[in-house]
Every structure is written in C-alpha cells, then in structure tokens.
Amino acid sequence: MIPINDDDGYYKLHNHDTSRIEKGNTLIVFHNSGFFSCCSIRLFHIIRYYYTHDYTLPKSVDSSQQFSWYKNKSDNTDITYTYFEDYNNIEIDKNRFPKTFMKHHWDLQFTPYQNIQFNLITPFIEKYFTPSEEILRIVNEIENQYGIDYDRTCVLYYRGNDKSTETHICRHEDLIGKASQEIPSDVIFLIQSDESDFIHKALSAYPNNSFVLEKYIRHIKKNVKISVDMTQRNLNNLYSKYYLAITIIMSRCKYIVCTSGNCSIWIMYYRQNANNIIQYLNHEWFNTIIKPKRPLKQSN
C-alpha cells in the first residue's frame, strides 16, 4: 500500500482505526451514530482508501456494523442497500474519479459549502450513495402529494436540538429573517426542522406561501438536546427512509437557507454544488445567491 500524493500524511493522520478497518481489499466501516453521520464516515473512508491504494476503489465496502440505530437489535446485516443502490451495479467512468489529491474529511459539515470540491466528490456519491428504487418511490410520492415546483421553492432548513452541542446555531428569527431579506418574494417555502418551535414560527412568518411535509417528519421541542432518532427508535427505519427522500427533494429546490451539519452537507452532495445557498456557520452567513442586476436607467 503506497500513499499517493499524500506527502504531509493527511490520510495517515486521519486514520481513526476506531471507525474503520481494512481486511484485504474489503473496507469495513463500523462507525455508528445518526444516519448522515454514518454516511459521512463511510464516504470519508472510501475516499481515504482510494487515495492510499493507488487510486483504486475497494473491492467491497462492508457497512454491516453501521446504521445500528435504524435496525432491529438482532439485525447484523448491511442495510445500506435499503437506502442506496448496490454499488456493484453502478458504473462510473473511471476518468471521472479524481487524479488530483483532495483532502476530504467528515467535518466538512462545519465548513463553508461553497469551498467544497464537488466535482471531485460527486463520482463517489454516485457510486456508493445513489438512492435505491424504494427511496425514489418515496420521493415521487411526496412530489405528487405536495405538488412541489422546484423552480419556485426555497428550503428553510434548521437543524437544532443536540446539534447545538457541536456548533453554534443561530436563533430561529435570524434564519427566517435572512430568508425574508435575501430570497425573492414569489417563492414557496418548504420548512424542514427537527424543532417544533422553528416550524411554527416559520409557518407564521409565511402563512400563505409555506408548507411542511408533516406526514414524513418527526420534530420535538427546542432545547431537548437529543436527536429525534432517540424519541421513537422503533420508527427509525421508516423515518430514515423518509428523511433521505426529503434530503433529495431539498437538494432539488432552487434556494436553500440552512444551518450547518451532516444533514445540510448531504443536501449539497446530492445537489452537486452550493449554488443559491445561504448557510449559517458559527456566527457567519455564507451567501451564494446571485441577484439579477437592475436594468440601467435610459437617458432621455
């Protein structure tokens, strides 16, 4: 195993054997936490393997020890194929995978998304995280039920509760106010949050042009400091499928105003860019919305 273009030992430094082991050409990932945290760790180790094995992908990726929050206690199978297509059936042109070095880490969730090298990461997303047919059926179901017009929809995404133990999160009013300042007035707001308080405030702020995918989400009161996955664990498998579908839907919307975290970065991964995004990150706003220029006044 010869590290390629890793002169500063970046991937050696970020080995984290407690999260990943290798056996032959099989990559075994055994990190457990929230759904997209598991996805981010899985993605990191796939990319790490690629760069430390002469630009080759692992023969197989074993995630049977991951996603335990979303399985029955006795289930020791790899349930990634419930969410994602079998990567063995996904053919990606080898020339699309990067041949230049990329420092990738799971804590990209807490960086400005506009700086991410999406062109280098996207082939890995398409290979290992293409949504399964079941997830796409849920996407289609939600689209039809709510009549979502992506070109007119802005996502207001607020991830609160336990995420506040990892990063600073703005007030509800700040995110809603930022949307009012920066987003065109003719949009419809898709409101998504794990905090009931935020949902109620956003609906009140936009009573005539907002909606919530109420049937498909779970939310709890602010400052509970736990994940919704800890409230009804017997329903986690179902709602994790719903949430992946919603993430794909959010990625397709024209505008996104969001806080920072694993959920937000996976919206970007499926979007394949950070265009038309307003991101709150540790007391700063990062805005990639390009407003149309006003026409010049014509002289008489």
Give the CATH number, domain containing residue 208: 3.40.50
| Residue 1 pLDDT level (bands cut at 50, 70, 90) | very low
* Same domain? 60 vs 27: yes
According to the model, what pLDDT value does residue 221 have? Answer: 87
Looking at every residue in the chain, the average pLDDT score rounds to 90
* Same domain? 157 vs 97: no
Within a domain: 137: no
Please give the structure tokens belonging to residue 180.
């009012």
- With a cut of 70, say whether residue 169 has pLDDT above it: yes
277-281, strands of its sheet edge to edge: 210-212, 188-193, 153-158, 255-258, 277-281, 284-287
Gap between the Cα atoms of 270 and 278, Å rounded: 17
**Final residue in a domain of this structure, among 81, 104, 128:** 128
* Same domain? 167 vs 222: yes
Mean pLDDT of 122-129: 98
The amino acid at 156: L
Count the residues in the chain: 300
Mean pLDDT of 22-43: 89
Mean pLDDT of 195-224: 93
According to the model, what pLDDT value does residue 235 have? Answer: 93
| Residue 124 pLDDT level (bands cut at 50, 70, 90) | very high
* Same domain? 123 vs 157: no
* Same domain? 179 vs 245: yes
Question: Residue 46: which of 77, 76, 11 has the closest Cα?
Answer: 11
Within a domain: 89: yes
* Same domain? 159 vs 241: yes
* Same domain? 161 vs 111: no
Q: What is the pTM of this model?
A: 0.91
Q: Which domain holds residue 253?
A: 144-287
**Residue matched to tokens 């804590």:** 107
**Final residue in a domain of this structure, among 81, 98, 128:** 128
Residue 279, φ and ψ in degrees, nearest 5: -115, 130
According to the model, what pLDDT value does residue 297 have? Answer: 56
* Same domain? 278 vs 185: yes
Within a domain: 297: no
Query: 27 and 78 in contact (C-beta within 8 Å)?
Result: no
> Long-range pairs for 112-115 at CB < 8 Å and ≥24 separation?
112/279, 112/281, 112/286, 113/264, 113/265, 113/268, 113/274, 113/277, 113/279, 113/286, 114/274, 114/277, 114/279, 114/286, 114/288
* Same domain? 262 vs 178: yes
| Residue 102 pLDDT level (bands cut at 50, 70, 90) | confident
* Same domain? 117 vs 181: no
* Same domain? 276 vs 168: yes
Mean pLDDT of 244-268: 98
Number of domains comprising the chain = 2
* Same domain? 156 vs 263: yes
